Amino acid sequence: MLSRYLADIDQPGPGALALSGPWCDLSPTSTARPSMTKNYGTDYIPWLGKLSSRSASRHYSMKAKNGPYIAPAKASVEEWKYLAQGQKVYIHAGQMELLIDEIRITAKGMQNAGVDLTVVEVSNGGQCQCGSWR
């Protein structure tokens, strides 16, 4: 949110972003993704389901909940272009997280916009599935 806000007000942003298991979608439809059900018993934050998503976003309008600030997983390629101008992004996530589907969607959007992106996914056994999305 902060990096997008700084870009929106024409201020310099950070040179890089490091995101660990980012929550990328607080919109009402975020809980419908398969990983929210499939990984319910394996994520270390089991309470992150429907109630916490509703609670975290209850003070925002429907438009805001579906916008790039609250739901970057829904951001368009154009809305990621501000990061494609020199900032590097590193995302670290576990394959068994509730949020892995939205993290992958967000990373794909960044990749499609030309962001200098590295994504590291750790499997259930702790094996690192490292790879660059460049």
- pLDDT tens digits for 9-19? 999 989 999 99
pTM over 0.75, yes/no:
yes
Report the distance separating Cα 93 and Cα 28, nearest Å: 22
Residue 78, domain extent: 2-132
Closest listed residue to residue 133, CA positions, set 123, 40, 114, 124 = 114
CATH number for the domain spanning 66: value is 3.40.50.1820
Cβ atoms of 122 and 128 within 8 Å: the answer is yes
How many distinct structural domains can be found in the chain?
Answer: 1
Pick from 40, 53, 20: which is nearest to 98 by CA?
A: 40
pLDDT score for 26: 83
For 46-73, the pLDDT digits (tens) are 655 556 767 777 888 889 888 999 899 9
- 1-5, 41-45, 82-86: which has the minimum mean pLDDT? 41-45
Contact 105, 133 (CB under 8 A): no
| DSSP type of residue 79 | H
Predicted confidence (pLDDT) per residue in 97-132, tens digit: 889 999 999 999 999 999 999 999 998 655 555 554
pLDDT at 108: 97
